[in-house]
A and B are shown apart, each in its own frame.
Chain A
């Protein structure tokens, strides 16, 4: 089944404790992206990747890191999480950018930072 898989689904952590949210897609998509969703703010893009070893900042990249060593994986790293990063996070992928193909979303990771 074609899908985007995120783990974990729920995560509670404390301020400053490094964490990684994994994302994997099995559709051979070139483009991958991370979004965060907050009430009243909609979805905001954190980082995106057009292909392996190619990543770039979205609208809200501060406090996050990503890497794209393999085509299928695009982990989101929070080196020192803070309470304002409490949010619902989505990984998404598309065949080749968003101009011609839709995004496929994972089921989300609900992160709470205390």
Chain B
């Protein structure tokens, strides 16, 4: 079953602009994670935010979490062509026992020069 749903499905921006992706989920969570995937390659972990946290930063990445709305957002500031990739949110549900991350279908980001 899919827990996270990313929005938009696809996003195209110019280099230097900010990119915002949103994720909504259905059930209560322990944590929410964001991953990046370059075309057909393995996913790379970006940020983990726990259910008791509201915001987290890592370099040009900013993640927010609103558990009351069951939603999260990933902001990439000053985007670069190298940020072109698919971005996935993944949730560790409370009932999962730490056994499973449930992934959304992803946002395809294209950063043009």
Bound Cα distance A40, B106 (Å): 9
Q: Is A21 an interface residue (CB 8 A)?
A: no
Interface of chain A residues 30 through 51 with chain B (CB within 8 A): 33, 35, 40-45, 48, 50
Residue from the set B1, B99, B106 with the largest chain A CB neighbour count within 10 Å: B99
Residues of chain A within 8 A of B103, CB atoms compared: 35, 42-44
Residue from the set A58, A98, A107 with the largest chain B CB neighbour count within 10 Å: A98
- The one of B1, B30, B44, B88 in contact with A43, judged by C-beta atoms closer than 8 angstroms, is B88
Q: Are the C-beta atoms of B43 and A105 separated by less than 8 Å?
A: yes
Q: Are the C-beta atoms of B99 and A48 separated by less than 8 Å?
A: yes
Q: Is B101 an interface residue (CB 8 A)?
A: yes
Interface of chain B residues 30 through 63 with chain A (CB within 8 A): 30-31, 33, 35, 40-45, 48
Q: Is A74 an interface residue (CB 8 A)?
A: no
In the assembled complex, how far is the CB of residue B71 from the closest CB belonging to chain A, in whole angstroms?
17
Q: Are the C-beta atoms of B2 and A42 separated by less than 8 Å?
A: yes
Bound Cα distance A41, B5 (Å): 11
Query: Interface size class for chain A?
Result: 20 to 34
Q: Is A102 an interface residue (CB 8 A)?
A: yes
Residues of chain B within 8 A of A45, CB atoms compared: 100-102
In the assembled complex, how far is the CB of residue A29 from the closest CB belonging to chain B, in whole angstroms?
13
Q: Are the C-beta atoms of A97 and B42 separated by less than 8 Å?
A: no
Q: Are the C-beta atoms of B43 and A103 separated by less than 8 Å?
A: yes
Q: Are the C-beta atoms of A102 and B48 separated by less than 8 Å?
A: yes
Q: Is B20 an interface residue (CB 8 A)?
A: no
Given A4-B42, A105-B44, A107-B42, A56-B99 contact (CB < 8 Å): yes
Residue from the set A88, A105, A107 with the largest chain B CB neighbour count within 10 Å: A105
Q: Are the C-beta atoms of A99 and B88 separated by less than 8 Å?
A: no
Across the interface, name the chain B residue whose C-beta is closest to A49: B99
Q: Is A68 an interface residue (CB 8 A)?
A: no
Chain A interface (Cβ within 8 Å of chain B)?
Answer: 4, 33, 35, 40-45, 48, 50, 56, 58-59, 88, 90, 92, 96-108, 110
Chain B interface (Cβ within 8 Å of chain A)?
Answer: 1-2, 30-31, 33, 35, 40-45, 48, 88, 90, 92, 96-106
